[in-house]
Amino acid sequence: MTSFSLPPVLPSSPAYDHKEDETPQVELGRVTTPAETPIFICALESCNRLFPSRDRLAQHRKVAHPGTDAHTDVLTWNEDPAPPTA
- The Cα 60–Cα 63 span in angstroms is 5
pLDDT digits (tens, 9 = 90+) for 50-63: 999 889 999 999 99
Q: In the structure, what pLDDT confidence band is assigned to residue 20 with cuts at 50, 70 and 90?
A: low
Domain boundaries, the chain: 38-86
Q: Which of 3-12, 25-34, 56-65 has the weakest average pLDDT?
A: 3-12
Global confidence as pTM: 0.55
The DSSP secondary structure of 7-46, one letter per residue, reads: -SS--SS-SS--HHHHHHHHHH-----TTTS--EEE-GGG
Average pLDDT, stretch 9-28? 67
What are the strands of the beta sheet with 50-51, ordered from one edge?
50-51, 40-42, 74-76
- Give the count of beta carbons closer than 10 Å to the beta carbon of residue 14: 8
